[in-house]
Amino acid sequence: MSNHNHPFYNPQLSYEDNYKKGPFGVFTKKPDTSSLLQNPVHFLGCNVNLPFGIPAGPLLNGKYVKAALDWEYDICVYKTVRTKKYKCHPLPNVLAVHPDHKLSANIDTVLADQNYDLPISITNSFGVPSFDPDVWQPDMEEAVNYAKPGQVIIGSFQGTLGATSHIEKDYAEAARLIDETGAPLLEANLSCPNEGVNNLLCFDINKVERIVHAIKNTVPDKPLILKLAYFKDNTLLYSFLERLAPIVNGFCAINTLSIRPINAHGECALGKDRPIGGVCGNAIRWAGEEMVSRLYEWRANHNENFIIIGVGGVNTPEHYHTYRSLGADAVMSATGAMWNPALALQIKKIAQ
């Protein structure tokens, strides 16, 4: 890793060690924010000082969430949890990727290594690990209570295949467990690339509709956001929105694009049993921006009022403003924020 790059998640360490020992780098210190002028805006029934934050993924537990709140990320998503413990994939979990052309949505083959150069793009392969609820519930509750006025925590969750006879029941139970922590907003993760590239849950409209109804029946009074992948096909996206837009409160897009990461010898960089990985960071910004534009256009044409959260490749304040200009009500940065923890402060200082 280059000496000038010290991300708050250490890709050299296991998920478990990052969970116990992290965050790292400047995220361990509190910045001086006394001179910041806050100008709260409305966001799903909450007030947020800046509609910018960190999506599901890098904020592994309450320590990471508290650090992000201290660094002025005003919308923080606690990493996706499950109703029971779920193991993480073995190392490597994070590698730098170096597309030699514009990354497509067709599972490109891309060089992956440990040269984490900026602007950063990474492949990540965790498998959506989770601790048991008796670990994450009190931890999430503590993080929720740590948020200052103008800051909000979103609880992200995912059902587990085989956990119950019906995946929708497990999603609903996960939502109920998050509701008990006091998190004001819910996000159902429907787009984990580890579930199979072409079999992502968000592409199964009937199943998603059953899941959403189960969640809403269980936790009827909390706003629900759906985390989406990139939809290559407008027909499928519009069908999805026709069914789901009237019954949820927002969409977060995108999660990742899938690739085949290889090392310098042409071998699977994540190991033979993991030929596919999800890409985050600079290389997927085009897809995040495009999805936001399509969601915004559909919303305007159908007189709906769901919120749109833009994610993908946000490394600079300019990227934040571009997403906002395309119609995003809020913007989030995962990889960019990991390597530049001061990104939210930079956006706020420019706004002043």
| Residue range 88-99: mean pLDDT, rounded | 96
| Angle between helical axes of 205-218 and 234-244 (0-180°, round to 10) | 20
Rounded Cα distance, 9 and 315, in Å: 16
Residue 15 lies in a domain: yes
Residue 113 lies in a domain: no
Residue 111 lies in a domain: no
Domain count within the chain: 1
| Residue range 121-142: mean pLDDT, rounded | 97
**pLDDT one-digit tens code per residue, 236-262:** 999 999 999 999 999 999 999 999 999
Looking at residue 171, which CATH number applies to its domain? 3.20.20.70
CA distances to 48, 290, 306 from 157, rounded to whole Å, are: 22, 25, 20
Rounded Cα distance, 221 and 231, in Å: 29
What's the length of the chain?
352
**pLDDT (0 to 100) of residue 198:** 54
**pLDDT one-digit tens code per residue, 205-215:** 999 999 999 99
Task: Report whether pLDDT(4) > 70.
Answer: no
Q: Name beta bridge partners: 48.
A: 41
DSSP code of 220? T
| Residue range 165-169: mean pLDDT, rounded | 86
Rounded Cα distance, 191 and 228, in Å: 5
Pick from 65, 37, 119: nearest CA to 351: 37
Q: Are 226 and 253 in contact (CB under 8 A)?
A: no
**pLDDT one-digit tens code per residue, 221-230:** 999 999 999 9
> What is the rounded average pLDDT for all residues in the chain?
94
Residue 265 lies in a domain: no
| Pairing mode of beta strands 257-262, 109-113 | parallel
DSSP code of 89? P
Residue 69 lies in a domain: yes
Residue 333 lies in a domain: yes
**pLDDT (0 to 100) of residue 304:** 95
Q: How confident is the model at residue 137 (pLDDT cuts 50, 70, 90)?
A: very high
Q: How confident is the model at residue 192 (pLDDT cuts 50, 70, 90)?
A: confident
Residue 64 lies in a domain: yes
Q: How confident is the model at residue 8 (pLDDT cuts 50, 70, 90)?
A: very high
3-class secondary structure, 346: helix
Residue 239 lies in a domain: yes
**pLDDT (0 to 100) of residue 193:** 59
Whether this prediction's pTM lies above 0.85 is answered by: yes
**pLDDT one-digit tens code per residue, 302-332:** 999 999 999 999 999 999 999 999 999 999 9
CA distances to 129, 175, 181, 185 from 160, rounded to whole Å, are: 11, 13, 20, 21
Residue 24: both structure tokens together: 């790292």
Q: Are 58 and 138 in contact (CB under 8 A)?
A: no
Q: Which domain holds residue 285?
A: 3-89+132-258+278-351
Q: Name beta bridge partners: 261.
A: 110
Q: Are 177 and 83 in contact (CB under 8 A)?
A: yes
